[in-house]
Amino acid sequence: MIEDALREAFAAKAGTQPPRSLDGIADVVIRNAGRVRRRRRAAVTGFAAFVVMAVAAVATFHVITPSSPGSTVAEGDTSRQTVAPEATLNSQTAPPAADKEVPAIDGQAQPSQTVHLKLSDNGTVAAAYKAKDGYLVVNTGGGSGNKQLVLQDEHNNQEVLVKKASDIAVSKGGDKVAWAQEGTMTVASRSTATPAGGSPNASPPAQGNLTQQATAEVPQTAVPVTFVGPNLVLGREAGAGFDVWYAGRAYTESWDPDVLRIFGVHPDAKSVYAEVKPIDDEKSMCLALLALDQPFKVVQRRCGLPVAAKAGGRVSPDGNWLAYPVEGLKQVAVLDLTKIFTGGAAKTWTLNVTTKTVWMNASTFVVDSGGKFRAISPTAVAGTSESLNTESEGVVLIEPLYSG
């Protein structure tokens, strides 16, 4: 600072008259030093303000497409009416103002793109789906554990569809949504059509178009699990079984405790693949095809399969395969659902994995393995997989929605 002031002092005197005395120069230096301090203080203050503004700026949600290979899932005469849950239908409510960056892999393998996703400071993505009209993102924010459903369109506009729920399910086609809140289950339909009359270059606001169809009183711990055609499978705490709310009927409780978990829906949209309690304790993993029948009826059963981990099991979009991390998270099992009930064998891949998984398409199952994503083809030789060369830490897997 003193050097700057001296430089300014001598520059000011140069070419005019010689300085009257060293004291005069000192006076000039002191005055100039004061001016330098004030300028630097203003500059620092301005930079600090810039940093604050930069921190508050909108962050980005990176959608990454792998170059190879070539948790929340989810239609009516309104049953017993209850106080409506605290949710927003057709809302134009803006998402939380504070944003952060969340990277993701797009399950439909489209070209790489950047999408803006607004999350609260301590918010997380519980599930993300790629629908016809954009991304459907289930966010969890704050310490309450409540969730929101947000629609984000191709122009990065966002709309809160469900404001508050304990859990949310989206149908395979993205046209139905169910959510639970404080003992009330709500089902709504959703239009996925692009607004008419819009210019290709315009950026209209996101339109969720949720239309409430029915509500029902349910146990406080009940959550929506998956849609089976127009009907909704319900679950609750571990070991308490599953139930079905049939479209067009009042809901009547009929929980089946023999059903341990639901893996996915059969292509006929009338039955589900599920783990059921074993008949023989020595054959502890039993897979069953269950028809909906107040609530379920076993159609086929196969026991003695590799034991599935608590999460991560998924049925492929075409309904032909079931893949899941094996208990202990050191293997992945893949079952051919067209053969498994008639003697077909399970195929296993030896990989250290987590329960973060997704079917990218009908023939590619992606798992998180040792900080990297790996792709498994169910028709490949058991044990062979391909790295996506993408870090998995903090990355969200986007599940493609499909009709079926």
Per-residue confidence at 88, pLDDT binned at 50, 70, 90? very low
pLDDT band at 122, cuts 50/70/90?
Answer: confident
Residue 103: predicted pLDDT: 66
The angle formed by the CA atoms of residues 172, 389 and 107, to the nearest 5 degrees, is 10
Statement: residue 215 has pLDDT above 70 = yes
- Give yes or no for residue 85 having a pLDDT over 80: no
Question: Using one digit for the tens of pLDDT, what is the confidence trace for 275-286?
Answer: 999 988 777 899
Give dist(CA 127, CA 350) in Å, integer: 27
Which band of pLDDT confidence, cut at 50, 70 and 90, is reported for residue 157? Answer: confident
Find the range with the poorest average confidence among 120-129, 165-174, 184-193.
120-129
pLDDT band for position 74 (50/70/90)? very low
User: Does the pLDDT at position 382 exceed 90?
Assistant: yes
Percent of the chain scoring above 70 in pLDDT: 65
Residue range 140-147: mean pLDDT, rounded: 78
The mean per-residue pLDDT over the stretch 36-51 comes to 42
171 pLDDT above the threshold of 80? yes
The yes-or-no verdict on residue 245 having pLDDT over 90 is yes
131 or 47, greater pLDDT: 131
Q: Which run of H or E residues covers position 117?
A: none
Distance, in Å, from the CA atom of 306 to the CA atom of 74, rounded to the nearest integer, reads: 25
The region of weakest confidence among 16-20, 117-121, 235-239, 347-351 is 16-20
Interval 276-334: pLDDT, tens: 999 887 778 999 999 999 899 999 999 999 999 999 999 999 999 999 999 999 999 99
Residue 232 to residue 226: CA distance in whole angstroms: 6
Strands of 296-303's sheet in order across: 259-265, 271-276, 286-292, 296-303
Mean pLDDT of 139-152: 83
Query: What is the reported pLDDT for 115?
Result: 56
Q: Quick check: helix, strand or coil at residue 178?
A: strand
User: Residue 273: is its pLDDT beyond 60?
Assistant: yes
Residue with more model confidence, 73 or 117: 117
Q: Where are the domains of the chain?
A: 2-56, 59-217, 229-304, 309-397
Q: Model confidence over 335-368: pLDDT tens digits?
A: 999 999 999 999 999 999 999 999 999 999 999 9
pLDDT computed for residue 323 by the predictor? 99
Given a cut of 50, whether residue 92 has pLDDT beyond it is no
- Round to whole Å and give the CA distance between 213 and 332: 39
Phi, psi of 320 (to 5 degrees): -95, -20
Q: What confidence category does residue 101 fall into, taking pLDDT thresholds of 50, 70 and 90?
A: low
Kindly report the pTM of this predicted structure: 0.74
pLDDT score recorded for residue 254: 96
Q: Is pLDDT of 203 > 80? A: no
Quickly state the pLDDT bin for 121 (edges 50, 70, 90): low
Distance CA 184, CA 218 (A): 6
For residues 171 and 6, the model is more confident at 171
Tell me the two tokens of residue 110.
């489209």
Average pLDDT value for residue range 135-147 = 83
pLDDT exceeds 70 at position 255: yes
Query: Are 366 and 357 within 8 A, CB to CB?
Result: yes
Chain centroid to CA 305: how far? 29
What is d(CA 172, CA 175) in angstroms, rounded to the nearest whole number?
Answer: 8
Q: Please determine, for residue 72, whether its predicted confidence score (pLDDT) is greater than 50.
A: no
- The alpha-carbon radius of gyration of the chain (Å, integer) is 29
- pLDDT at 147 > cutoff 70: yes
Residue with more model confidence, 11 or 34: 34
pLDDT of residue 283: 74
Q: At 155, is the pLDDT very low, low, confident or very high (cuts 50, 70, 90)?
A: confident
